[in-house]
Amino acid sequence: MSEIIKPKRTIIPFGPQHPVLPEPIHIDLVMEDETVVDAIPSVGFIHRGLEKLVEKKDYNEMVYVAERICGICSFMHGMGYCEAVEHIMDVEIPDRAKYLRTIWCEFSRLHSHLLWLGLLADGFGFEALFNECWRIREKVLDMVELTTGGRLISSVNKVGGLIKDVTPEMLKAMKETVIQVEKELKPVANTFLNDYSVKSRLCGSGILTKEEAIALGACGPMMRASGIEVDLRKTGYAAYDNIDFDIITSNDCDGYARCAVRIGELFQSVEIVRQAIDKIPDSEEVSVKLKGNPKGEFLMRLEQPRGEAFYYVEANGTKFIDRFRVRTPTFANLAPLIHTLKGAPFADVPLLVLTIDPCISCTER
């Protein structure tokens, strides 16, 4: 009697409240024994509808709303909105402001990637590594606080430049911090890239080939880990056109590759901050005076820690802009995530969800 019994399917809910993720996302995992055969995501737990606030806040106040799309990459959200409005108003901000934006962008990238590395280590149960990553992150946050005034929500951007300038002492302290961070990162990076227990969890998990990454529209480190050279910083917004850096890619296509790409970007960020501080010009002003209201539309693209973000602004010549639309990297990375979840063992699910570096508040706004 050799009757093949088809395994029964069970549905296991993942989230919205889950110890691995600080944010709510709900995924229904369709299981056959221990293997995920299908994953159905449902979102909307953090949808606030902040794009509609453009009707109530004028275009200068909207910067502060844009910054609160997400607390991790808050500086870049504010900057993306400002650059879009500046393009519409045809305003050229001073060079010093451009360089300062670049420096703070890279500081955000540093603290975002360190946060992610910590959460990843927590995801596979390496608590000491988790704490080590977050200890280094505090140094980066201290420098952000010293120079901008806020730990996470910095609020230094405004349409037409920056609210405040930094002193030469601050610049010196920033440079010393990144050098110190680089020194402390080396043993952490070594553990992530060479430790047996880390490798056994990450190598070969969540394969996303180059073709699949293109077809599913992955972005950011997820795409670069599949061997595709895309980095919007090369388009030269802010002061990136004056800075020399290479795009970091990996051809392994798995969780380990994503980890390696992000670690590479940490060291790259340190290098970019050092270059920017060396090249920053002296000037009295960090902002320009605005004339009139914006009229027209613009689509600003920039590279966030998690990938490519779009900011679409349509203005009608009054104080209140017509439409503000954001497309964030995690939204693009959800389709590849669902693809990598299929066929994965149940125990790998939290890890795979983490490897895309999910930021649900960005996605749902």
- State the residue for tokens 């930094």: 166
What residues from 305 to 364 belong to the interface with another protein (CB under 8 A)? 359, 361
What residues from 134 to 153 belong to the interface with another protein (CB under 8 A)? 134-135, 137-138, 151-153
CB of 68 to another protein, least distance (A): 5
Query: Interacting stretch for another protein, rule CB under 8 A, among 129-137, 275-283, 304-312, 326-334?
Result: 129-137
# binding residues, another protein (CB under 8 A): 37
Contact residue for another protein among 65, 97, 280, 286 (CB under 8 A): 65
- Indicate the residue among 15 and 221 with the shorter CB distance to another protein: 15
Beta-carbon-side half-sphere exposure of residue 178 (alpha carbons within 13 Å): 25
Return the SS3 of 55. Answer: helix
Q: Which among 360, 352, 364 has a CA at the least distance from the CA of 29?
A: 352
CB of 121 to another protein, least distance (A): 13
- Indicate the residue among 139 and 210 with the shorter CB distance to another protein: 139
CB of 46 to another protein, least distance (A): 4
70 lines the binding site for another protein (CB under 8 A) = yes
59 lines the binding site for another protein (CB under 8 A) = no
What residues from 160 to 179 belong to the interface with another protein (CB under 8 A)? none
* Contact in structure between 253 and 226 (CB atoms under 8 Å): yes
Instruction: Compute the distance between CA of residue 68 and CA of residue 231 in angstroms, rounded to an integer.
Output: 24
Q: What angle do CA 356, 360, 365 make, to 5 degrees?
A: 140
Calculate the alpha carbon distances from 92 to 76, 101, 104, 161 in Å: 18, 14, 19, 9
CB of 88 to another protein, least distance (A): 23
Burial 208-238 (b: 16+ CB within 10 A, else e): beeebbeebebbbbbbbbbebebbbbeeebb
Query: Between 19 and 58, how does the x/- string for binding to another protein read (CB under 8 A)?
Result: xx-xxx-------------------xxxxxxx-xx--x--
Calculate the alpha carbon distances from 91 to 85, 137, 167 in Å: 9, 35, 25
Report the amino acid identity of residue 343: G
Query: Interacting stretch for another protein, rule CB under 8 A, among 130-138, 178-186, 282-290, 331-339?
Result: 130-138
- The site for another protein (CB under 8 A) is made up of 16-20, 22-24, 44-50, 52-53, 56, 64-65, 68-72, 74, 115, 131, 134-135, 137-138, 151-153, 359, 361
